[in-house]
Amino acid sequence: MTVTADDPRLLALADRLWPAAAGETGSSLPPIQIGLRVDSPGAAFEGRLTESWTVQRDAVELRLGSQLSVTADVTSASISGWVSADLLEHDPGLIARLLLEVPVAALLQRRAYAAIHAAAIAGPRGAVVLRGAPGSGKSTLAAAAHLAGMDVLGDESVLVARDDPDELLAAVRDPTLEPDTVRLLNLDERLWPATERIGPKQRLDLFASANANGRARRRIATVILGPRSGPARLDPLNAETFTAEFQAGGIREELWADPAPRIESTWSQRGAYRLSGAGDLRGAITLLAALVGHTPEPGSPA
């Protein structure tokens, strides 16, 4: 992956997302070329913005009002985009996500990786994928895991290598949270408003502590999120049950690129669990911390 830009601030953002000369491990595909510029002075930033997407098989385009535009072209393996100087100054974390993370993830999903609708957290032993239908608690668990000191690869999507389904790569790491979750975790001072595309949600900005070397991790378990009520409990699943419940957590966006059917088959053979009682947040985080080998920090949700 090669990044060029007319402003050193954009290059600095890229350096915090990926190691130098990052690429797709073992791939013979041509490297992704990224060209960015700052529109200076550009339009003045005026607060909450609306995301506008155009998704085609060979290209993804994103506009953020009059502040940002970026296109990821699959055929040429290239990304080109611009951002207003005002927005870059106001919210570099948002720019890292929309101008870099999202378009790179869109290309990778059509190349050596598949995108899975899931959260992923990690610790010393490796990463745990959290899979469940919308509203099952993925974002809440990801945010609580972050507060407990665990690493977060994402709350809504994770990239999975097609030739090695235990190789995980972060797509977009910042969790977006409902108002109830914000209050539950007492996160008001750590949040930025999300864009209009996700309505009243707010974004937990992880970019401030971003580490390029933390984007890739090895999977040690996949946890299906079951009923949220009751005490937290983690139960092993047989391959048939795991496969059925994994498929139930799918969304249509997973089909924007060719799916990778080996993923659920491989994951069903090792480290397959169901977590019931995610509403018991302290108990759930304690169980997940044990899986990834993390000792929760004092005062954390666990």
- Residue 271: CA atoms inside 13 Å, Cβ hemisphere, count? 22
Give φ, ψ of 54 to 5 degrees: -130, 115
Q: What is the pLDDT of residue 75?
A: 92
The pLDDT, as a whole number, for residue 198 is 43
Closest CA to 104 of 126, 74, 130, 124: 74
Segments of the chain scoring below 70 in pLDDT:
19-27, 42-43, 45-48, 177-179, 181-182, 186-201, 210, 252-261, 296-302
CATH class of the domain defined by 114-292:
alpha beta
Query: What integer pLDDT is reported at residue 205 of this predicted model?
Result: 73
Helix-helix angle 281-292:138-147, to 10 degrees: 70
What DSSP assignment string belongs to the chain? -EEEESSHHHHHHHHHHS-TT---TT--SPPPEEEEEEESS-SPP-S---EEEEE-SSEEEEEETTTEEEEEETTTTEEEEEEEHHHHHH-HHHHIIIIIIHHHHHHHHTTTEEEEE-EEEEETTEEEEEE--TTSSHHHHHHHHHHTT-EEEESSEEEEETTEEEEEEES----EE-HHHHHHHT-GGGEEEPPGGGTT-EEE--GGG--GGGSEEEEEEEEEE---SSS-EEEE--HHHHHHHHHHT--GGGGSS---THHHHHHTTSSEEEEE-TTSHHHHHHHHHHHHT--PPTTS--
Per the structure block, which two tokens stand in for 37? 């510029």
Q: What is the pLDDT of residue 150?
A: 93
Q: Which of 68, 47, 69, 50 is nearest to 60 (CA)?
A: 69
pLDDT tens string 226-253: 999 999 999 999 999 999 999 888 876 6
Domain chopping of the chain, boundaries: 2-111, 114-292
